[in-house]
Structures are given as C-alpha cells and as structure tokens.
Amino acid sequence: MIDLLDNLLSSKIDEEKLEKIYSHLTGLYTNGKDPWGLDIDTAKATISKLYPFYSEYFKVRLFGKDKALDRPYMVVSNHTGQVPIDAMLIGMAFALEIAPPRILRAMIDRFVTSLPFLGEWFAQTGAVLGDRQNCSKLMERGNSILVFPEGVQGVAKSTNEFYKLQKFTNGFYRLALSSGFDILPVAVIGCEECFPFVYHLKSLAKTLGLPAIPLSTNYFPLPSPVDIHIGDPISINKDLSPDATDKEINKEVLKVKSKIRSLITRGRKDQREFWAKKER
Amino acid sequence: MDLENVSSILIIGMAGNLAKITAKEIHGKNPNIKIIGVDSRKVPRSLSKLNVKFHQINYTRSHFERLFREHKFDVVLFLGRYAHVGLNILSMLTDSLDTKISGIKNIFDLCVKFKVKRIVVLSSFHVYGALPGNPLFLLEDTPLKADFKYPDIRDVVEMDKMARLWVDKHKAVETVILRPCSIVGPHIQNAITKYLTTPYAPIPMDFNPNFQFLHETDMADIILKAIDKLPPDTYNVAPDEYVTIRDAMKIVGNPTLPVPLFLIEPMAKILKKTLFKIPEYFISYLKFPCIIDNSNLHKALGDLNFRYNIKETLKYLK
C-alpha cells in the first residue's frame, strides 16, 4: 500500500510527450475547442493530473494498440464497474498510447450533462450527450466515437454477472453504417473489481429519475489493475442500409458482441492478481 | 422577389430597433419602396429619416385592415417579437398571447385577402428550448419544446407553430420563417444584449454552454435576403462560429460575478430592480447549449458572408 502511494505521488507524465500529443490534437480542432464543449487545454490538464492513476493506481496495460490505424472508428466496449471509470481509462489510452493520438468522444447520459461542474468538465474532456444526431455530426467531422451498447445495464451488474455482457442496443451499428466507420472492439478487464457490488436501488433510481443507483462498498475505486484489449477492426456490412430491419442489424451486432466476448475471455486469462505490482 | 420590384412593405413591430435597422437597410437599397411601420407600442423617434410612415395600432383592430386596403403591400415583415416586461407573468402572458396569436392570425388572413406576395416571420432559436436532451445543431424540424418548462416563452412558440401551419395551408403567399440565434448589437435591447453589457452580471460558475451570436446589422441583412433571395421555408439563422458564455463575457470586457447557477435566478430578481430583468426561461440557456444548425441557410445562400465575426460582434457591444 505504501509502495502504491509512493508510486502514485512520484509518478509524473512525460511532459514533452504530452506536449507533442496535445499540439497534434489542438491542430485537429479550431482553437482547440469544438461546439460540444471540448477544450483541449482542459483535457490536457486533466490527463496530466489523472496520469498517476492511469499509470500507477490502475497500472493500465494496453494490448493491441497497433490495431487502431490512422482513421476514425466507432469504438465499442464492454461496460464495467459501478462507476464508469472504464470510459476515462479507454479515453486516456487512446490519447496517450495510440498513434496518432485521438480524443475519443464518449457518449454520456443527459443526467451527467445536468450535473453542476461535472457536466462542463466531462464536455471539456470530450464527452458528449448520447444522442444519434450528436454522434453522426461528430462522425461527419472525423471524430472517433466511444460507445457502450450495454448502457446502464453494463455498470449496474451484480457480482455473479461480472464480465457477462448484457443486451446490446443496435443504434451504434446503424450509425456506423451511416458514417462508414469500421468498428473497433474493446474489452476492459479489471474495472469490475474496483467497485464491489452490494445492491442496485432500482426503484429509488426510477423515483429520482436517475439511470442507476448501484450500491457499492466504496465509491472511490479500489486499485485493481486494469487491462484494455483492442481487437481487430470489424468492417461494417456494406450491403446493409442504416435503415435495415432490426433483425438484419441485430445479426451484425451479435458478431460485434461475440468479438468483445472473446476479447474478455482472453483478457480474463491474462488478468493480474488484485495486488499485482506494475510491470516495469 | 426582387427588391427592385417591391413597391410597399409593412413592418410589424416597428418600435423595435431591429425593425428600424431593417427599414434603414431597405431604404438604402431601394429608396422608392414605401415603408409602413406599425406597433402597439409608442411612436419611435427618428422614423421620418427612414421614410417610414408609422401607425400605433392594435393588430386586432379593424383599422389595421384599412392599412392593407390602402397600401396594397407586396411584403409583410412580422418582426414583432415577444418582450419580457412587467411583473405579473400571468397578465403579461395573456397580453402577449393575445397580441401574438390573435394578431398573427389576423395578419395572415389579411395577407391572403389582399394578395400579399411574401411574408417574413421573425421567430427565435428560443423556440427549441435549452433542454438537457438537446443534441447540438438543432435542425428546423426539431420539435419546439421551449414552452414545456417556461410558459413565459409560450407566445413565440405558438406564433412559430401557427406560422408553420399557415405556410402549409396557404402556399400562394410565399412565407419565410427565420429562427435566429442570439441577436446582439449596440441598438438591440433584448435580454441577452442587456445581460452581456451589464457590469457584474451573475454568470454561472458550474455551467458554460456555447452560444451563437449574430450582429444586428447582419440579421437585418438576412431579413432583406428573406425578401428577395430565400426560397419560402423555415431557416435557422446563425454564423458558423460559437463561443462559451464565459468567453463571450470576457470579449465584451465587463467584470462578471461568477456564482452557482441556482443563485442566478434570485440574484436576477434583485438585479431587476436596479438594472434589468433576466427572464425566467433565459436561465436554462445559461445551463444547456442550444446550438442551431445553419445548413438550410447555407444551402439557400451559399457563403453567409456576415459583416461581423463573433469576436467583432461582441467587442463592439460595449
């Protein structure tokens, strides 16, 4: 524990590398900003502050970084943990470890956009209200999108459902068809262990109009080592139109789901012990 | 229709400064056009210089019809937008709804009866509402939801809806509906201009939505283009640029008072006694973005060529 704290406090991001990454990213957006509220300077400051957590606390390992080529993708991932820190870690991995770096535009619930301070901060770091129109406009501008087709069901899972993929919605596939983007499957291993599940207060969530209220023993994540696995890009079925029937679309969605499932199975085999030290 | 072929124009809402700027632009382009201005408010000053004949009348009165009969208008510009004045919301709303809803019905009927060739209706981006579920770049066919939460904006939503229904029914009269973003300028006295130009105006420290701003002269120019260049349709009017409300305040250059959003409403109530009134609905636009898509306007006009960019628009406010 002392080692962990020591590493956390002493870990610093390579400022020169960060500067290079963000000068590249600033060039992609006019004045480093966009209409959805992205602010490259804030995103940079956030990554710089959160880097010790990424590197030393969650000891993130990224596998398959060469699978992401220099083009925009619809990044599709499993959703894990009671608090969705997986989005933050995937976003950091794509900004810091993949060439060329990119800001993944994660889709968030309207409840989050209504939160004081947090809503603005999420927007500044690249998150966007989950809406089909937002998504397609961002894709038109060449942004890679991060989606969790399991939605809230993915983060409010009980312990016996950890790493079991929930039902996928199919909207992401229709959007990929409209934009022509390939799908990049991603599996996150380690986030489920960050928040031991106690109970899901479904009726209270419904009463309060919140997407979910999963009870956990803690709301600051435990230092579980996290692995992010990127699979081979999946080409969209060009014979399908974005207005194809649900039956036709769901067939393709199942292929994506099955790819993520196999990434999870492989990832679980290589998963580190909870107290594993960082590989140096 | 070409401005050269227009002989008379009726401007409704002539007491407003945008109407005055528009009249000046029309007069500049074709001094032979006869401009008749009407408003239920007092006679504005300096209209004679603009060659505008002004009548202070109620839109629902029969002598309003006399104007149509006597002047045989080619074009009617409905620029009488809502105004947030008065302390009693209910009475204000009733009065406003009566003016706008009954008034616009009356005006539309008269336009058909007296064969007006074109009507331009000035609506607002406010009709979409600033809501948490709003995507960015709202298109013209986005449902108008502003009045769901704020009854004080119901008049403009109803007016817009009515105009659109009317367009479908009476295709013989060419109708252009304009939904501009925030119009600001040294002469405009709307809520956003007053807000931006008030020193120590409270601004939210916990939300910072993007805004689109259009200079009053550029808006007047678009109204002119709505007479002679835009095909009949509904158009969002906005530049391609945007700026966060905090950055906008910085560009204007006034000192501000950052406070949590929930405090703005009570602070605005205190401020209204000394400075100005922030309408209740306006607070939601300080929380959620309401960015409109201008591609329909681009499609009709090509490059928009606004005279002022967003920085100049805000810089010249002070």
CATH number at residue A68: 3.40.1130
Over the stretch A48-82, which tens digit does the pLDDT of each residue have?
A: 999 999 999 999 999 999 999 999 999 999 998 77
Residue A133 touches chain B, beta carbons under 8 Å? yes
Residue A114 falls within a domain, yes or no?
yes
pLDDT of A119 over the 80 cut: yes
Query: What pLDDT does residue B44 have?
Result: 58
Query: What pLDDT does residue A280 have?
Result: 66
pLDDT tier, B84 (very low <50, low <70, confident <90, very high otherwise): very low
Distance CA A124, CA A129 (A): 12
Query: What pLDDT does residue B40 have?
Result: 81
Query: What pLDDT does residue B88 have?
Result: 47
Contacts of A134 in chain B (CB under 8 A): 135-136
Please say whether the beta carbons of B12 and B107 come within 8 A: yes
Distance CA B232, CA A258 (A): 51
Query: What pLDDT does residue B91 have?
Result: 57
Query: What pLDDT does residue B172 have?
Result: 84
Closest approach of chain B CAs to the CA of A189, in angstroms?
A: 31
* Minimum CA–CA partner of B241 in chain A: A35
Q: How many CB pairs under 8 A join A and B?
A: 45
Give me B1's structure tokens.
């229709």
Phi, psi of A49 (to 5 degrees): -75, -35
Query: What pLDDT does residue B49 have?
Result: 72
Residue A35 touches chain B, beta carbons under 8 Å? yes
pLDDT of B43 over the 70 cut: no
Distance CA A165, CA A151 (A): 11
Range of the domain at A182: 60-269
Residue B242 touches chain A, beta carbons under 8 Å? yes
Mean pLDDT of chain A: 91
Query: What pLDDT does residue B86 have?
Result: 41
Residue A70 falls within a domain, yes or no?
yes
Q: Please state the domain count of chain A.
A: 1
Beta-strand pair B75-78/B118-122: parallel
Burial class (CB within 10 angstroms; exposed 0-12, middle 13-18, buried 19+) of A207? exposed
Query: What pLDDT does residue B273 have?
Result: 65
Distance CA A110, CA A131 (A): 9
Query: What pLDDT does residue A69 have?
Result: 96
Contacts of B136 in chain A (CB under 8 A): 35-36, 133-134, 137
Q: Which has the minimum average pLDDT: A41-45, B233-237, B274-278? A: B274-278
Query: What pLDDT does residue B186 have?
Result: 94
Q: Which CATH number fits domain B3-185+212-238+291-307: 3.40.50.300, 3.40.50.720, 3.40.630.10, 3.40.50.2300?
A: 3.40.50.720
**What is the mean predicted confidence (pLDDT) over A225-246?**
96
Query: What pLDDT does residue B229 have?
Result: 94
Contacts of B135 in chain A (CB under 8 A): 129, 131-134, 137
Residue A109 falls within a domain, yes or no?
yes
Distance CA A217, CA A195 (A): 7
Q: Which residues of A217-244 are buried (b: 16+ CB within 10 A; e: fewer)?
A: eeeebebbbbbbbbbebbebeeebeeeb
**Does the bond joining B31 to the residue before it have cis omega, within 30 degrees of 0?**
no
Mean pLDDT of chain B: 87
* Minimum CA–CA partner of B240 in chain A: A35
pLDDT of B303 over the 60 cut: yes
- Name the DSSP class of B125: G
Over the stretch B251-299, which tens digit does the pLDDT of each residue have?
A: 999 999 999 999 987 887 777 666 666 787 888 999 999 999 999 999 9
Over the stretch A174-202, which tens digit does the pLDDT of each residue have?
A: 999 999 999 999 999 999 989 888 788 88
Residue A119 touches chain B, beta carbons under 8 Å? yes
Contacts of A127 (CB under 8 A, 6+ apart): A87, A105, A106, A107, A108, A112
pLDDT tier, B156 (very low <50, low <70, confident <90, very high otherwise): confident
Distance CA B42, CA B32 (A): 26
Q: Which residues of B192-209 are buried (b: 16+ CB within 10 A; e: fewer)?
A: bbbbbbbeebbbbbbbbb
**What is the mean predicted confidence (pLDDT) over B126-151?**
88
For residue B93, CA distances in Å to A111, B163, B284 come to 31, 19, 19
Of B242, B260, B288, the CB nearest to A35: B242
Residue A218 touches chain B, beta carbons under 8 Å? no
Q: What is the ipTM of this complex?
A: 0.81
Query: What pLDDT does residue B276 have?
Result: 62
Residue A182 falls within a domain, yes or no?
yes
Query: What pLDDT does residue B294 have?
Result: 97
Over the stretch A77-111, which tens digit does the pLDDT of each residue have?
A: 999 877 779 999 999 999 999 999 999 999 998 88
**What is the mean predicted confidence (pLDDT) over B67-80?**
93
Residue A207 falls within a domain, yes or no?
yes
Mutation target vs A (from B140, B208, B251; most A CBs, 10 A cutoff): B208
Beta-strand pair B174-180/B118-122: parallel
pLDDT above 70 covers a percentage of chain B that reads 89
pLDDT of B98 over the 70 cut: no
Over the stretch B105-118, which tens digit does the pLDDT of each residue have?
A: 888 889 999 999 99
pLDDT of A152 over the 70 cut: yes
Residue A188 falls within a domain, yes or no?
yes
**What is the mean predicted confidence (pLDDT) over A111-134?**
93
* Crossing angle (nearest 10°) for helices A40-52 and A2-10: 150
A26 or B105: which carries more pLDDT confidence? A26
SS3 B58: coil
